[in-house]
Amino acid sequence: MSKQIRKIVRIDEEKCNGCGACAIKCAEGALQIIDGKAKLISDNYCDGLGDCLGECPQGAITIEERPADAFDLVAVQQREAVHAHAQVQSCPSAAATSFKNSPFAAGDTATPIPAYLTHWPVQLTLVPDAAPFFQDTDLMLAAHCVPFTYAAFHRDFLAGHTLVIACPKLDDFAAHQQKLTDLLTKSRIKSLTIVHMEVPCCSGLVYLAKQAIKASGKNIPLREVTIGIRGDVKADNC
């Protein structure tokens, strides 16, 4: 394929922190998080319009003019068809794996397991953004996979918090960002804790939260907890 001088995205890897916000926004799937950095996987997937520009909190993405393959809409559509069943093409660290844990013995009821959930519903799309249970509370936004991965989620994280859950990859990202903004604006939230998985696309929840706090105009303390796929705590940053 012959090259042509055209506009195309450029990623400054020194600035990129691998949050995944750009990959979520890119409708053509031209960007992926690889080895902790955003990458343009193929010139012909990028239309050069720059929808991802405003999504990068680090300012790592710009538009440049350089020799590049022409944008190929057919190639983009074919790629989407191939990967539609997976839904994780921009999350390479979510590769299938297996490992052994030490579960409770079947039927073991000697130790009661406390539950700290205080309300329903919990899905961010479904909760009323001005519900009474959001007043004067410490809010927790958890990724869908977290409670299944971290066995002591209720005891170690949920206690003392009001919960909402979301998935930055499979849900409507823009709608969730607006809903969280509305929730923070209308309710008296004392703090916001984000608990997400270690896979790059899941860190999009952190970007979503920061943007929602900024849009709300409030100074809300933010805590970020990263859970490993084996059920351990990778990081806990206040």
pLDDT, greater one: 134 or 55: 134
Count Cα atoms within 13 angstroms, Cβ side, for 120: 0
How far is Cα 124 from Cα 171, in angstroms, rounded to an integer? 10
Instruction: Report helix angle 173-186 to 204-216, nearest 10.
Output: 40
Neighbours of 49 (CB within 10 A): 13
Q: Dihedral of the CA atoms 32, 38, 41, 42 (nearest 10)?
A: 120
Q: Do you know the residue count of the chain?
A: 238
How far is Cα 92 from Cα 141, in angstroms, rounded to an integer? 23
Class of domain 3-92: alpha beta
Output b/e per residue, 219-235; b: 16+ Cβ within 10 A: eeeebbbbbebeeeeee
How far is Cα 232 from Cα 181, in angstroms, rounded to an integer? 30
Binning pLDDT at 50, 70 and 90, where does residue 82 land?
low
- CB-CB contact of 55 with 203 (8 Å): no
How far is Cα 103 from Cα 151, in angstroms, rounded to an integer? 9
Q: Which CATH architecture has domain 132-237?
A: 3-Layer(aba) Sandwich (3.40)
User: How do residues 166-213 score in pLDDT, each as one tens digit?
Assistant: 998 888 888 899 999 999 999 999 999 999 998 877 888 998 899 899
When the pLDDT of each residue in the chain is averaged and rounded to a whole number, the result is 83
End-to-end CA distance of the chain: 49
Which letter does DSSP use for residue 105 in this model?
Answer: P
Same fold across 3-92 and 132-237: no
Domain residue ranges in the chain: 3-92, 132-237
Q: Using a pLDDT cut of 90, give the percent of the chain over it.
A: 45
User: How do residues 3-41 score in pLDDT, each as one tens digit?
Assistant: 899 999 999 999 988 777 787 777 778 888 887 788 999
